[in-house]
Structures are given as C-alpha cells and as structure tokens.
C-alpha cells in the first residue's frame, strides 16, 4: 500500500480550503476581509482553489482608512480585476463624515483605531454573518487559543469564555441573528508557512514587501514612510533608506524595516535562518506594537 | 516534511509546562524575544537555572483570571517535522478541553511523576486518550532527577502502566524516563541514566510513523459544496467539492452516494489547475461523476465495495461539554461531517467514572460526564464505527437554544430498535 502523507504545505492548504468551503456551506452572507497584506492575499489564492471555476460565494471587503500605501490600492484593484470578484469598500472617511468617529490629532495621529467602527458598520450594513480573516495562532498568546470559527456578539466582541469546543474537523457555525462568526482558515499556519506558500504558489505581492529605497523619517525609534498623511514638522528629517515592510496596513502606523531582501527567497532566508532579524524587529516593542496592531485592526480581531 | 499533532496530558504538578518549555528550549525553537524574557525573568529554579514553565505561564495567568480555560496551540519545527501542540489543561474540570485537543491529535504524551507513579489522574488521561482513539502514546516518567534516576522505580512504573494500558485498550505505548527540569532524555540522551538505552523524546516525536487511513476500501468523501458556475461556457459543469476524510478515490472508481444509495463512477478529480488521478485522505478536491445525480451538501460519496453504516438509531460514547445538563426531553442538533440534522437522546445506557473506570447507572449527564447512550436522528447518518474510522465516526451535539456545541460523540454501533 502506498504511503500517502501530505506534505505540510499541502496539508495546511487542504485544511484551509476545507474551512472556506464550510463557510460557504454554513452561512448565508459571508465575506472575506481583505487588507492587501500577505495573509489575506493568501486567502484569496485559497478561495480560488476552493471554488473555481465557480464564483466566490462571498465578496471581498476592504476597510479603507484613506491612508493606504498607493502600492496596496493599486495591487488590490489589479487583483480584483484579475479574479473578477466583487469588492466592497468600507471608508473610514465616511465614518468620520458621519460623525461616528473622531479623527485623532497630534503628531502620532493615525486612523488605525477608527477602522473597527467602519468594519462593524460595514458588517451590519451588508448583514454579513461570517467574516473570513487571515489571523494566525502563532501571532500571540491570546490568538493561540482562538477557535477557527470564532463567534462575535452583536457588538463584534470576542468572548473567550463563550468559545465553542472544536472537535475533529467539525465546525459549528450556528448563530443567533445579529451575531457573526470570524473564520480563520490559516489559524494553523506560521508566518514562515505563509511565505513558503506564497513562494510555492508564485503569488504576486505588493512591491512594498520587497526591499526598495524610500524616503522615511525616524519616529519613536521606527522608520515611517514619509507621506502627506503623517503629521510632520521641522524636527522630522526625511532621509532615504533601503527598507521593506513586514506587514502592510495604514501608512501612519506601519513601520518599515531596513532590508536588502529583494526577492522572496531573500525574505524566507531572512525569516528562517536568523531569528534575530525576523524577531529582532519584534523585539523592538514599538515595531512589535505596530505590527500586531496592524493585523488586529486589519479587521481580523 | 509532514506535521505531527500531539497533546500533553498531565497536571501542572507533573511538569507539563516544563516539559513543553524544555522541548522548545532544547530544540532551539524559542524566539529571541522570548529567550530574552526568560533570561531576565526573576523566576528561577532553586539551583538558579531558568524556569522553563514561564514559556506557558502567560497562558496560565490568563486562566487564573478566568479569561479562558481553553486549549492553546503552539507551533514549532525541526529539520525533520513540524509540530502542533494542543496544550490542554489537565484538571478534571477541563475534561472537555482534553477531549477537544485529543480529537485532532495523532499522538499523546502522558506525564507520570516518578515519585507518585500511576495515580488516579493517569487513569483518567489514559482512558480519554483511548476513548478518542489516539494511535500513539508516549508515557514520560518525569522528575527522574528526584528519585536519583532509579531504574528500579522506572521499571515499576512501566509495569504498572502496562497493566493500565491493557485495561483501557492502548496498544502503541512508548516509555521514556525523563527529567524535564534537567533536560534528561528530552532532546538529548541523559548522562544520568546510562541504564536507559532507548530514544529521547524529541527524536522519537521526529521519527514516529503517523498512521493514515490509506485503504481505498475506506474511501469517504463528504460533499461540502457543489460547484456550479452556471456560465455559458460551463453550463453543464457540476463538481462536488469536499475533502477526502479517509481512504482514496481514483478516476473510474465506482462510488455510492449516501444516504440516497445512487451509484456512479468518478469521471474526473480536480484541484484548481490540476487533474490528479487520485485523491487520498486529507486532500481537498472537486470530484465529477459520470452520471447526473442529485447530490448536495451533507451527502457522502463512498467506495461502493465497502459501505459505511446507515442508520437513524445509533449507539455512541458521549462526552458532555456544557454546564447545562443533558435533557433527554429536548431535541438537539447533531453534526456529522457536513451534515446537520435533529436528534434526541433515546436512552442513557451508563456513565463511566473516569477515575476508576467503573460503570455508573444514574440518569443525569452533566458537564464532563462520559458514557454510552443511544441517539435517534431525524435523518439517517452514513457513518463508520469510530474505532474503525475516526474521520467518519465522530459527531457533535449542538444545543438548539444556545447554538453551543454541548457534546462530543464517538459513534460505536447501529442500535436495535
């Protein structure tokens, strides 16, 4: 008898596809939360594997702060054009205009925290009962215990005490009206798994993930891309540095790291060979905060 | 490279946190920031060495605050294999969490304190591991440093455990004497136990063979989603999307659709841009049949030569997971693979005292209770006996009032009416 043991990437992929199909089968109005980052880009590839040649049984939803990297928006629009799926954009600017949130002031102002309100409004407006996100359990301790199907109450809150046991491969998606479920198909992937998968599948990424020369300023010990969205003053010195971004979100909260990783192989080497280079950035708590916050505010949490 | 999923069973006192910490530490799997936190921590062992339990401590603190009592997942990898640890609390009040973690594990590490030997708790953990059908068990006799690395004590415990393993029906059991605190036989062979010439824990975890249900006889494919593009060019396209739960399917295989009982032949297997000739256990694929049959989510394609049971009356082991006791007068939902239907608990046959393994015959079924019941389902389920095929023999019970998962079922037999 032949021995059929799936390679780890195949197994993770098959599990994620299985989860996506459970979402399609169990929910009336699901959505895929798309931030333009590598994790949600991976989700799009997995959705293609799960549903092609049919259409996705859900739209993509992007919560746009209005302060995005232009490369991300270009990537998003090009991708939507390629896959021919529906994109719903929730604008933080609309939430500001409607008076639902108030723009932060001062030097470190960011729209990052405002996103959650726009996200919840978008969910309510379209009546989404399941939101697929790219969060992973290896990200932090609290996430390590989150279920793959994670029930949110009508306020969008996660209550660890209300978590449902998840047995075998059986996912219980039953909810009451007004509740919704966050679904995390790549829960069991690590950061390195995502990169290895992107390499294997030859998935295109926004260019800012790769090393490039960019005008930055140093603020609170981190490198921020110089942009009109950043409140700058005379103290801020713009300099050119060779950088790349490890996570992609709002320009006001996503810090760059110095890097010469021009190709995906370089990035994987950077992550897998040297713990210091990959985690070193995380050790800098400023960058770490931004990186984690970025993921959470991407609508995953 | 493949993935090994394992759980660790043992209470905090048995050194479970230290064992996990030692595995991560000695296999060089700890990230730089965590390492730094370890070294600067004020918590040290009596001899001044690092307290590795800190690595899982953040989680404990959360539990103590009552934030969660759930399974936490940890990931690490070596050159040989990737590992997913389901870190399950060991106390009796967390039986449901151990069942949850164990339901997806290929292997269980059972910790025994060398000073205490096989105790009531060991019986409970071993029973649960056996109940859930975990194939591989490693018994780590821990804290050997505290019994002077005594071979005689190790041998006594191994013999005691062998009797227990026989009693609960565990077959593949490996015994390793360890000290998680000192690092003996965890990643590196111990210099303190020259009398032990067996393998250390991590090399064992790296090399242990995983059992996959490879037999084509057991081919099972629960349909999750019907792919129907309904475009002009793909007008007649109809693919059945799902994940092979056991065995394997090949093009031209004869299949039966259950519960309807229709037959057909596999025409094509698809995965996005590829058309593999075979889909085996674990693969998510889309299957096309030669005949037009009405198939929808919840149906299952099986090998025509080896059919599962199809019944509405099923005898099963039940682990109750909710603070509200089971109420036989209520109608619950049952979910088996992608099929959801209503059910009632027809009869409670007995409960098992999981500390003594004695049968009990009182009626109430409360949180963490385990026992044998007969369940009546509104629609027939196409299932295999859990002991023969885990993937098609497990189900959950959902409370239709709260929508919460309240029970885990291991389907054991077709029941007589």
Domain ranges for chain B: 3-207, 216-303, 309-414
Q: What is the distance in angstroms between the CA of the first residue and the CA of the last residue of chain B?
A: 48
For residue B399, give the nearest of A9, A204, A28, A174 by alpha carbon.
A174
pLDDT score recorded for residue B53: 67
Sign of the CA dihedral with B182 first, then B176, A141, and B34 last: positive
Q: Which two tokens stand for residue A106?
A: 């001062």
Overall size of chain A counted in residues: 301
pLDDT bracket for residue B60 (50, 70, 90): low
Measured between CA atoms, the residue of chain A closest to residue B390 is A168
pLDDT score recorded for residue A291: 40
- Beta A255-258 vs A60-64: how paired, if at all? unpaired
Average pLDDT, chain A: 84
Question: Cα distance from A8 to chain B (closest Cα, Å)?
Answer: 5
pLDDT score recorded for residue A297: 32
pLDDT in tens, B380-391: 999 999 999 999
What is the mean pLDDT of the segment spanning A157-167?
82
**Quick one: fold of A8-194+289-298?**
Rossmann fold (3.40.50)
Residue with tokens 């339901």: B103
For residue A294, give the nearest of A30, A24, A45, A38 by alpha carbon.
A38
Question: Cα distance from A75 to chain B (closest Cα, Å)?
Answer: 22
pLDDT score recorded for residue A292: 39
Query: In angstroms, what CA-CA distances link B120 with A107, B87, B117, B123, B125?
Result: 61, 21, 10, 5, 9
Cα–Cα distance for residue pair B167/B123, rounded to 1 Å: 10
Contact flag A53-B283 (C-beta cutoff 8 Å): no
Q: Cα torsion for B30, B33, B35, B41, to the nearest 10°?
A: -140
B214 touches B280 (CB < 8 A)? yes
Residue with tokens 């780590």: B140
**Quick one: fold of B3-207?**
Rossmann fold (3.40.50)
pLDDT score recorded for residue A277: 34
Most B-contacting residue of A165, A171, A180 (CB-CB within 10 A), to test interface: A165
User: Does residue A109 register a pLDDT over 80?
Assistant: no
Cα–Cα distance for residue pair B362/B180, rounded to 1 Å: 41
Query: In angstroms, what CA-CA distances link B371 with A143, B102, B319, B332, B362?
Result: 33, 17, 7, 18, 11
pLDDT score recorded for residue A137: 86
Q: List the beta bridge partners of residue A33.
A: A61
Question: Cα distance from A13 to chain B (closest Cα, Å)?
Answer: 8
What is the mean pLDDT of the segment spanning A208-220?
89
Q: Please provide the CATH number assigned to the domain covering B216-303.
A: 2.40.30.10
Residues from chain A that touch B332, judged by Cβ atoms under 8 A, are none
Which of these ranges, A22-26, A39-43, A279-283, has the smallest mean pLDDT?
Answer: A279-283
Neighbours of B259 (CB within 10 A): 15
Contact flag B243-A166 (C-beta cutoff 8 Å): no
pLDDT score recorded for residue A301: 42
Q: Which two tokens stand for residue A146?
A: 């989150």
Measured between CA atoms, the residue of chain A closest to residue B395 is A170
pLDDT bracket for residue A296 (50, 70, 90): very low
Burial class of residue A125 in the structure, from the number of CB atoms within 10 Å of its CB (0-12 exposed, 13-18 middle, 19+ buried): exposed
Question: Cα distance from A46 to chain B (closest Cα, Å)?
Answer: 10
Cα–Cα distance for residue pair B396/B398, rounded to 1 Å: 7
Contact flag A51-B245 (C-beta cutoff 8 Å): no
Query: In angstroms, what CA-CA distances link B2 with B78, B207, B285?
Result: 11, 11, 20
Contact flag B225-A160 (C-beta cutoff 8 Å): no
Cα–Cα distance for residue pair B243/B282, rounded to 1 Å: 6
Q: Which two tokens stand for residue A281?
A: 């950035």
Contact flag B405-A167 (C-beta cutoff 8 Å): yes
pLDDT score recorded for residue A116: 84
Task: Select from A48, A169, A279 the Cβ nearest to the Cβ of B272.
Answer: A48
Residues from chain B that touch A138, judged by Cβ atoms under 8 A, are 75
B15 vs A123, residue with greater confidence: A123
Residues from chain B that touch A13, judged by Cβ atoms under 8 A, are 284
The CA R_g of chain A, rounded to the nearest whole Å, is 19
Task: Select from B69, B99, B241 the Cβ nearest to the Cβ of A50.
Answer: B241
What is the mean pLDDT of the segment spanning B1-23?
85
Question: Cα distance from B99 to chain A (closest Cα, Å)?
Answer: 8
Measured between CA atoms, the residue of chain A closest to residue B132 is A168
pLDDT score recorded for residue A287: 36
Q: What is the distance in angstroms between the CA of the first residue and the CA of the last residue of chain A?
A: 45
Question: Cα distance from A187 to chain B (closest Cα, Å)?
Answer: 10
Contact flag A18-B284 (C-beta cutoff 8 Å): yes
What is the mean pLDDT of the segment spanning A275-288?
38
Contact flag A141-B394 (C-beta cutoff 8 Å): no
- Residues with Cβ within 8 Å of A215's Cβ and at least 6 positions away in sequence, in order, are A225, A226, A238, A239, A240
Question: Cα distance from B229 to chain A (closest Cα, Å)?
Answer: 4
Task: Select from B103, B225, B280 the Cβ nearest to the Cβ of A21.
Answer: B225
pLDDT score recorded for residue A281: 40
pLDDT bracket for residue A299 (50, 70, 90): very low
Residues from chain B that touch A7, judged by Cβ atoms under 8 A, are 1-2
pLDDT bracket for residue B64 (50, 70, 90): low
Task: Select from A17, A162, A280 the Cβ nearest to the Cβ of B32.
Answer: A280
Residues from chain B that touch A190, judged by Cβ atoms under 8 A, are 75, 77
Question: Cα distance from A67 to chain B (closest Cα, Å)?
Answer: 31
What value, to the nearest 5°, has the Cα angle with vertex A250 and ends A245 and A256? 25
What value, to the nearest 5°, has the Cα angle with vertex B202 and ends B200 and B207? 95
Cα–Cα distance for residue pair B380/B353, rounded to 1 Å: 31
pLDDT in tens, B35-47: 676 677 666 666 6
Cα–Cα distance for residue pair B284/A108, rounded to 1 Å: 46
pLDDT score recorded for residue B50: 67
Question: Cα distance from B74 to chain A (closest Cα, Å)?
Answer: 7
Q: List the beta bridge partners of residue A87.
A: A60
What is the mean pLDDT of the segment spanning B122-142?
94
pLDDT score recorded for residue A16: 98
Average pLDDT, chain B: 89
User: Does residue B18 register a pLDDT over 80?
Assistant: yes
Q: Which helix (H) or strand (E) holds B86?
A: strand B81-87
CATH fit for domain B309-414, picks 2.40.30.10, 3.90.1150.10, 3.40.50.11060, 3.40.50.300: 2.40.30.10
Contact flag A168-B390 (C-beta cutoff 8 Å): yes
Cα–Cα distance for residue pair A84/B50, rounded to 1 Å: 55
Measured between CA atoms, the residue of chain B closest to residue A160 is B68
B326 touches B362 (CB < 8 A)? no
Burial class of residue A100 in the structure, from the number of CB atoms within 10 Å of its CB (0-12 exposed, 13-18 middle, 19+ buried): middle
What is the mean pLDDT of the segment spanning A120-139?
91
Please count the residue pairs, one from chain A and one from chain B, whose beta carbons lie less than 8 angstroms apart: 169
Neighbours of B305 (CB within 10 A): 12
Domain boundaries, chain A: 8-194+289-298, 204-285
Contact flag B73-A145 (C-beta cutoff 8 Å): yes
Cα–Cα distance for residue pair A186/B199, rounded to 1 Å: 34
What is the mean pLDDT of the segment spanning B46-75?
62
pLDDT in tens, B78-122: 889 999 998 877 666 678 888 999 999 999 999 999 999 999 889
Contact flag B405-A165 (C-beta cutoff 8 Å): yes
Residues of chain B with pLDDT > 70, as a percent, come to 89
Indicate left, alpha or beta for B334 from its phi (over 0: left) and psi (-120 to 50: alpha): beta
The reply to whether B309-414 shares the fold of B3-207 is no
Residues from chain B that touch A6, judged by Cβ atoms under 8 A, are 2, 282-283
Specify the 3-state DSSP secondary structure of A57. coil
Task: Select from B2, B71, B215 the Cβ nearest to the Cβ of A7.
Answer: B2
Contact flag A170-B396 (C-beta cutoff 8 Å): yes
Task: Select from B2, B104, B280 the Cβ nearest to the Cβ of A168.
Answer: B104
Contact flag A6-B282 (C-beta cutoff 8 Å): yes
Indicate left, alpha or beta for A39 from its phi (over 0: left) and psi (-120 to 50: alpha): alpha
For residue B150, give the nearest of B188, B196, B82 by alpha carbon.
B196
User: Does residue A244 register a pLDDT over 70?
Assistant: yes
Task: Select from B32, B225, B229 the Cβ nearest to the Cβ of A275.
Answer: B32
User: Does residue A64 register a pLDDT over 60?
Assistant: yes
Question: Cα distance from A283 to chain B (closest Cα, Å)?
Answer: 5
Q: Which helix (H) or strand (E) holds A210?
A: none
B145 touches B179 (CB < 8 A)? yes
- Residues with Cβ within 8 Å of A5's Cβ and at least 6 positions away in sequence, in order, are B2, B210, B212
Residue-wise DSSP of A130-189 = EEE----TTS-TTGGG--SEEEE-TT--B-GGGPPP--TT-------TT-EEEE-TTTT-
User: Does residue B123 register a pLDDT over 60?
Assistant: yes
């Amino acid at each position: 008898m032949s021995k059929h043991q799936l390679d780890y990437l195949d197994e993770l992929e098959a599990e994620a596809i299985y989860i996506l199909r459970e979402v399609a089968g169990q929910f009336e109005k699901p959505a895929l939360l798309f931030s333009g980052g590598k994790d949600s880009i991976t989700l799009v590839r997995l959705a293609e594997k799960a549903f092609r040649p049919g259409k996705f049984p859900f739209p993509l939803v992007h919560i746009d702060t209005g302060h995005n990297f232009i490369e991300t928006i270009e990537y998003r629009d090009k991708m939507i054009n390629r896959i021919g799926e529906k994109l719903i954009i929730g604008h933080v600017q609309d939430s500001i205009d409607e008076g639902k949130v108030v723009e932060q002031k001062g030097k470190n102002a960011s729209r990052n925290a405002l996103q959650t309100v726009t996200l919840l409004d978008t969910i309510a407006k379209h009546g989404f009962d399941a939101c697929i996100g790219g969060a992973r359990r290896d990200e932090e301790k609290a996430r390590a215990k989150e279920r793959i199907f994670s029930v949110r109450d009508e306020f969008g809150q996660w209550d660890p005490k209300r978590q449902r046991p998840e047995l075998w491969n059986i996912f219980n998606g039953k909810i009451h009206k007004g509740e919704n479920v966050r679904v995390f198909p790549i829960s069991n992937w690590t950061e390195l798994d995502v990169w290895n998968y992107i390499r294997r599948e030859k998935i295109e990424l926004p260019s800012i993930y790769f090393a490039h020369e960019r005008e930055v300023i140093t603020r609170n010990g981190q490198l921020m891309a110089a942009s009109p969205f950043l409140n700058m003053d005379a103290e801020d010195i713009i300099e050119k540095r060779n950088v790349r971004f490890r996570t992609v979100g709002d320009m006001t909260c996503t810090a760059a790291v110095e890097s010469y990783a021009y190709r995906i192989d370089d990035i994987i080497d950077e992550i897998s060979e040297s713990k210091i280079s990959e985690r070193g950035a995380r050790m800098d708590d400023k960058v770490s905060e931004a990186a984690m916050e970025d993921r959470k505010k991407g609508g995953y949490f | 490279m493949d993935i090994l999923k394992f759980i660790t069973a043992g209470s905090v006192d048995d050194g479970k946190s230290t064992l996990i910490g030692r595995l991560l530490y000695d296999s060089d799997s700890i990230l730089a920031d965590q390492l730094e936190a370890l070294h600067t921590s004020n918590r040290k062992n009596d001899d001044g060495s690092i307290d590795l339990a800190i690595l899982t401590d953040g989680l404990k603190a959360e539990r103590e605050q009552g934030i969660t009592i759930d399974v936490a997942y940890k990931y690490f990898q070596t050159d040989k294999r990737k590992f997913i640890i389901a870190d399950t609390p060991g106390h009796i009040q967390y039986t449901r969490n151990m069942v949850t973690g164990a339901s997806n594990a290929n292997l269980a590490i059972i910790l025994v304190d060398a000073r205490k030997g096989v105790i009531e708790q060991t019986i409970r953990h071993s029973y649960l591991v056996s109940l859930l059908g975990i194939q591989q068990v490693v018994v780590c006799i821990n804290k050997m440093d505290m019994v002077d690395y005594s071979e005689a004590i190790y041998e006594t415990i191994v013999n005691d455990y062998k009797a227990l393993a026989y009693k609960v029906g565990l077959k593949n059991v490996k015994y390793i004497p360890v000290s998680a605190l000192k690092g003996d036989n965890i990643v590196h062979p111990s210099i303190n136990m020259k009398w032990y010439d067996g393998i250390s824990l991590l090399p064992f975890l790296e090399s242990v063979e995983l059992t996959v249900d490879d037999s084509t006889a057991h081919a099972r494919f629960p349909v999750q989603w019907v792919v129907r593009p309904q475009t002009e060019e793909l007008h007649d396209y109809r693919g059945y999307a799902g994940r092979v739960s056991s065995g394997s399917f090949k093009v031209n295989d004869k299949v039966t659709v259950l519960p309807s009982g229709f037959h057909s032949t596999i025409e094509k297997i698809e995965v996005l841009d590829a058309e593999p000739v075979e889909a085996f256990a674990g693969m998510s694929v889309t299957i096309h049949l030669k005949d037009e049959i009405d198939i929808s989510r919840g149906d299952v394609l099986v090998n025509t030569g080896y059919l599962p049971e199809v019944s509405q009356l099923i005898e099963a082991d039940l682990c109750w997971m909710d603070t509200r006791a089971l109420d036989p007068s209520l109608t619950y939902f049952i979910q088996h693979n992608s099929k959801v239907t209503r059910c009632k608990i027809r009869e409670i046959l007995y409960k098992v005292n999981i500390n003594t393994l004695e049968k009990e015959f009182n009626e109430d079924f409360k949180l963490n209770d385990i026992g044998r019941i007969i369940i009546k389902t509104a629609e027939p389920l196409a299932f295999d006996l859990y002991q023969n095929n885990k993937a098609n023999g497990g189900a959950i019970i959902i409370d239709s009032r709260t929508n919460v998962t309240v029970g885990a079922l291991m389907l054991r037999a077709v029941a007589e009416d």
